[in-house]
């Protein structure tokens, strides 16, 4: 399972490197898959499955549902797409090569950067969870400004897709942070492309259809603030939990694919709840359960300290120790 995922990631980067012509070619080839006529291809594309890679990494039930094809055909289509992409093992040196392309965005705080191994990484999902006012949205704003700085100055010289699900995007605050960074505030705002997601389905579509705008606008950072609020509000009770987690899982994988294909960073915020099962210690638990816990590459838990101070704890990372740091939310933005 894990090995296959790695192989997919490598392929994704190969695609990104080889550029548009290859992707265009693959798009045309959708019809070449067994059982895919022009009508089915059309349905697949409309549902956001517009290239081989998306099909290769989907499940048969998924395609059955969105493209209205039989489960047998769906299986055949997926296998054919996987063959076409030669998805299998890849040597580790190629993966290493891909990792070398990873870029980092400064958070504005050296200690927070250090906690994250040098800043917020591309090809990864970074999740910040914590109570209200803990600084989740502020970090999203700061990253949306900083990613626009040139490489070498803590940015990636790229633009931003910002999905706002809580109605808390504030251009005034972005201006303040941009000015605090000595940047042209008007220019900074022009490079942030904001969508207000009205519900979880809308949120999913915004990500599934993001490829084109990502390429067109040279997007290097995708912010989802928050990842879970729509899902949490819409799927209530235990009976809906399975469906919610399934949808959330797919959504997160779509985000990871976006991050891989375009070598961009994904930053998501998450709400918390009190887990009554935890009798000793901090009962604060992120929403999203195991699905999210295993999907985010870096998870940071934010707590409010005195005044401007915030405490960040790195909770989960593949290659960094669990540790804490202190940073500040100031008028100018995130600082040490």
Which spans of this chain sit near ligand GTP (rule: CB under 6 A)? 130, 132-138, 168, 173, 308, 329-331
CB of 334 to ligand GTP, least distance (A): 10
Chosen from Mg ion, ligand GTP, none, partner binding at 220 (C-beta under 5 to 8 Å by type): none
Closest to ligand GTP by CB, 308 vs 336, is 308
Measured from the CB of residue 136, what is the shortest distance to Mg ion in angstroms?
5
Q: Using alpha carbons only, how large is the chain's radius of gyration in Å?
A: 20
Longest dimension (CA), the chain: 62
Tell which residue, 258, 12, 262, 265, has the closest CA to residue 121: 265
- When the beta carbons of 207 and 268 are compared against ligand GTP, the nearer one is 268
Q: Which is nearer to ligand GTP, 37 or 133 (by Cβ)? A: 133
Structure tokens at 233: 């509000």
Q: Which is nearer to ligand GTP, 106 or 138 (CB)?
A: 138
User: Which ranges of the chain would DSSP assign to H, the alpha helix?
Assistant: 2-18, 20-28, 38-46, 52-56, 60-67, 71-84, 92-100, 110-115, 136-146, 171-180, 185-190, 200-208, 211-216, 229-234, 241-261, 289-295
Within a 10 A sphere around the Cβ of 167, how many other Cβ atoms?
9
Distance from C-alpha of 49 to C-alpha of 36, rounded to nearest angstrom: 12
> Exposure pattern of 67-96 as b/e (b: 16+ CB <10 Å)?
bebeeebbbbbbebbbebbebeebeeeeee
Contact flags string 160-189 toward Mg ion, x per CB under 5 A: --------x---------------------
Minimal distance in Å, beta carbon 148 to ligand GTP? 19
Which one, 49 or 301, has the nearer CB to ligand GTP? 301
Burial environment of residue 150 by CB neighbours within 10 A (0 to 12, 13 to 18, 19 or more): exposed
- Give the shortest CB-288-to-ligand GTP separation in angstroms: 14
Contacted entry of Mg ion, ligand GTP, none for residue 246, CB cut-off 5 to 8 Å set by kind: none
Q: Which does 206 bind (CB under 5 to 8 A by kind): ligand GTP, Mg ion, none?
A: none
Q: Which does 132 bind (CB under 5 to 8 A by kind): Mg ion, ligand GTP, none?
A: ligand GTP
Per CB under 5 A, which of residues 130..159 are in contact with Mg ion?
Answer: 136-137
Give the Cα-Cα-Cα angle 217, 220, 225 (nearest 5 degrees).
100
Nearer to Mg ion (CB atom), residue 133 or residue 305:
133
Query: Residue 108, by phi and psi: left (phi above 0), alpha (psi -120 to 50) or beta?
Result: left
Which residue's CB is nearer to ligand GTP, number 43 or number 131?
131
3-state secondary structure of 254: helix
* CB-closest chain residue to Mg ion: 137
Least separation, in Å, of the C-beta of 47 and ligand GTP? 31
* Residues from 79 through 138 that contact Mg ion (CB under 5 A): 136-137
Q: How many residues bind Mg ion (CB under 5 A)?
A: 3
Please report how close the Cβ of residue 163 comes to ligand GTP at its closest, in angstroms.
14
Rounded to a whole number of angstroms, the minimum distance from the CB of residue 140 to ligand GTP is 7
Is 300 within 8 Å of 314 (Cβ atoms)?
A: yes
Smallest gap, in angstroms, from Cβ of residue 130 to ligand GTP? 6
Residue 56 vs 197, nearer CB to Mg ion: 197
**DSSP secondary structure, 289-325, as one string:** HHHHHHH-SEEEEEEE-STTEEEEEEEE-SSS---EE
| Interface ranges with Mg ion (CB under 5 A) | 136-137, 168
């Amino acid at each position: 399972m894990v090995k296959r995922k790695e192989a997919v990631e490598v392929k994704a980067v190969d695609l990104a490197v080889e550029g548009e012509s290859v992707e265009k070619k693959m798009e045309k080839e959708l019809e070449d898959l067994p059982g895919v006529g022009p009508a089915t291809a059309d349905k697949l594309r409309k549902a956001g499955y517009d290239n081989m890679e998306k099909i290769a990494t989907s499940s048969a039930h998924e395609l059955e549902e969105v493209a209205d094809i039989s489960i047998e055909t769906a299986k055949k289509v997926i296998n054919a797409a996987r063959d076409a992409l030669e998805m299998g093992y890849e040597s580790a040196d190629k993966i290493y090569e891909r990792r070398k392309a990873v870029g980092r965005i400064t958070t504005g705080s050296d200690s927070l950067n250090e906690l994250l191994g040098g800043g917020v990484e591309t090809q990864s999902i970074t999740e910040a969870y914590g109570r209200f006012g803990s600084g989740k949205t502020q970090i999203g704003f700061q990253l949306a400004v900083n990613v626009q700085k040139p490489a070498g100055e803590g940015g990636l010289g790229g633009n931003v897709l910002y999905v706002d699900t809580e109605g808390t995007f504030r251009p005034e605050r972005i201006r303040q942070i941009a000015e605090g960074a000595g940047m042209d505030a008007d220019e900074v705002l022009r490079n942030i492309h904001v969508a207000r997601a009205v519900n979880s389905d809308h949120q999913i579509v915004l990500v599934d259809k993001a490829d084109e705008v990502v390429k067109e606008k040279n997007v290097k950072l995708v912010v989802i603030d928050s990842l879970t609020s729509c899902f949490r509000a819409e799927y209530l009770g235990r009976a809906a939990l399975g469906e919610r987690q399934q949808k959330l899982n797919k959504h997160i994988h779509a985000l990871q694919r976006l991050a891989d294909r375009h070598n961009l960073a994904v930053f998501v915020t998450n709400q918390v709840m009190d887990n009554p099962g935890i009798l000793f210690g901090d009962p604060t638990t992120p929403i999203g359960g195991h699905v999210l816990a295993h999907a985010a590459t870096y998870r940071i838990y934010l707590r409010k300290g005195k005044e401007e101070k915030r405490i960040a704890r790195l909770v989960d990372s593949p290659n960094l120790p669990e540790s804490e740091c202190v940073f500040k939310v100031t008028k100018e933005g995130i600082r040490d």
